């Protein structure tokens, strides 16, 4: 599970996987192709790499996602976020002048929340969804300017739900394997400008966990958590541009889309009470701008800013177990060339998330106030 990380970024997707993308807030991810982690951002980018290349990274994530109940007489959970480590590794290899192959092991999808002891701990106390992906990939150079790539992703998912049952913590968990696919195109528009586009299919896990809960003081009411909302990753498209101004400066940007509207209305349903079921999710959009500066042959300095739109139609009605909103990322970092064959880098990223309110269940309605996350990562690449 070391290779899985948890985040609320881009709903459940995130771009911080212990690589240089962290320092750029993901900017240029589908077109940059500077190390073997291009397997996860655009497999076609392997055609720009050396004959053999390894890239690995470690990261840590923490933040403050506070939930406060509207009813001040009840105990609120406070910060539901815990510090969490992560890791990733990638390897690419040149087969011949046109064909490249590689494999990646990483986690870039998940959700982890810990409410602790609070007024609604019979409904939910802890919920963890982690995913690890093994991604064998191939890339083919059609000509000197155009490459294509593809990945078949074997995704392992683990879901656990802990709640208070008659004074004792009761934990349910399950795991599942699911397949997804990624297609990529990389094109050199000019000698100094390249474009990349990547499509990733949706991932559906099938977990056998009972999401129903009852409260002694509400004998005729049964709550059902939206477990399905935590186990689906939507299809997404990412378009990126990278432009080398000169040998010292490069600028880059992204435009992305995620198909969250297909998942309908993730919310706590209440049996025995009238509960309106409208579609509360909408597609989300991502945009990012980044810059690289190379002051010397040894140093590469990175900075980026990104925006991801909320997946909710209204921030006044979000799911208790899926807190998210509009997100702004601010990131920076640097790479240092240790030898002609190896480099090491570090990065930090701050993510500010839009506040939101929870209406259902009404007995535990409240708000996520001024949430944020931060990431710190190191990465290493070696070519041979």
Contact criterion met (CB below 8 Å) for 59 and 22: yes
Tell me how far apart the alpha carbons of residues 351 and 238 are, in angstroms, rounded to a whole number.
20
Average pLDDT, integer, range 145-163? 93
Q: What percent of the chain has pLDDT over 90?
A: 65
- Asked whether residue 108 carries a pLDDT value surpassing 80, the answer given is no
- Asked whether residue 70 carries a pLDDT value surpassing 90, the answer given is yes
pTM equals: 0.89
Determine the pLDDT at residue 30: 97
Number of other residues whose CB lies within 10 A of the CB of residue 175 = 13
- Asked whether residue 227 carries a pLDDT value surpassing 70, the answer given is no
Q: Tell which phi-psi region holds residue 229, choosing left (phi > 0), alpha (psi between -120 and 50) or beta.
A: alpha
Average pLDDT, integer, range 260-279? 62
- Asked whether residue 196 carries a pLDDT value surpassing 90, the answer given is yes
Tell me how far apart the alpha carbons of residues 176 and 162 are, in angstroms, rounded to a whole number.
18
pLDDT band at 334 (very low <50, low <70, confident <90, very high): very high
Q: Which of 159-168, 241-250, 326-335, 374-383 has the lowest mean pLDDT?
A: 159-168
- Between the alpha carbon of residue 258 and those of residues 57, 162, 198, 326, 349, the distances in Å are 26, 29, 12, 14, 22
Determine the pLDDT at residue 226: 66
- Asked whether residue 58 carries a pLDDT value surpassing 50, the answer given is yes
DSSP sequence for 279-337: --B--EEEEEEEEEE-SSSSEEEEEEEEEE--SBS-TTS--TT-----EEEEEEEEEEE
Cα angle vertex 251, ends 56, 199, to 5°? 60
DSSP sequence for 84-106: EEEEEEEEEEE-SSSEEEEEEEE
Determine the pLDDT at residue 270: 54
Determine the pLDDT at residue 6: 39
The structure tokens listed for 157 are: 């998912």
């Amino acid at each position: 599970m070391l290779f899985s990380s948890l985040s609320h970024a881009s709903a459940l997707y995130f771009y911080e996987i212990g690589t240089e993308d962290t320092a750029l807030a993901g900017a240029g991810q589908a077109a940059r192709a500077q190390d073997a982690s291009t397997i996860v951002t655009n497999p076609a980018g392997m055609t720009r790499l050396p004959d053999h290349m390894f890239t690995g990274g470690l990261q840590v994530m923490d933040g403050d996602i506070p939930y406060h109940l509207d009813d001040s007489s009840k105990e609120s959970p406070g910060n539901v976020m815990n510090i969490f480590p992560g890791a990733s590794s990638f390897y690419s290899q040149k087969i011949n002048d046109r064909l490249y192959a590689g494999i990646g092991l990483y986690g870039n999808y998940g959700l982890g929340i810990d409410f602790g002891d609070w007024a609604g701990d019979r409904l939910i106390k802890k919920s963890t969804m982690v995913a690890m992906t093994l991604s064998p990939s191939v890339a083919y150079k059609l000509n000197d300017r155009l490459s294509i790539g593809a990945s078949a992703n074997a995704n392992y998912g683990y879901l656990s739900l802990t709640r208070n049952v008659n004074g004792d913590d009761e934990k349910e968990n399950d795991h599942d394997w699911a397949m997804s696919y990624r297609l990529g195109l990389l094109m050199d528009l000019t000698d100094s400008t390249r474009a990349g586009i990547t499509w990733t299919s949706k991932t559906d896990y099938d977990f056998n966990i009972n999401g129903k809960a009852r409260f002694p003081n509400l004998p005729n009411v049964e709550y059902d958590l939206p477990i399905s909302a935590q186990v689906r990753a939507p299809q997404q498209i990412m378009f990126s541009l990278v432009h080398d101004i000169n040998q010292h400066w490069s600028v880059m940007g992204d435009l992305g889309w995620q198909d969250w509207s297909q998942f309908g209305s993730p919310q706590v349903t209440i049996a025995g009470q009238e509960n309106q079921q409208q579609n509360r999710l909408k597609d989300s959009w991502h945009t990012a701008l980044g810059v690289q500066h190379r002051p010397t042959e040894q140093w590469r300095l990175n900075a980026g800013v990104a925006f991801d739109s909320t997946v909710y139609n209204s921030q006044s009605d979000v799911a208790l177990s899926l807190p998210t909103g509009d997100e702004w990322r601010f990131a920076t970092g640097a790479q240092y060339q240790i030898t002609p064959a190896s480099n090491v880098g570090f990065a930090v990223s701050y993510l500010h998330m839009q506040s939101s309110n929870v209406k259902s269940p009404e007995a535990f309605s409240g708000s996520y106030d001024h949430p944020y996350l931060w990431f710190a990562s190191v990465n290493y690449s070696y070519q041979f």
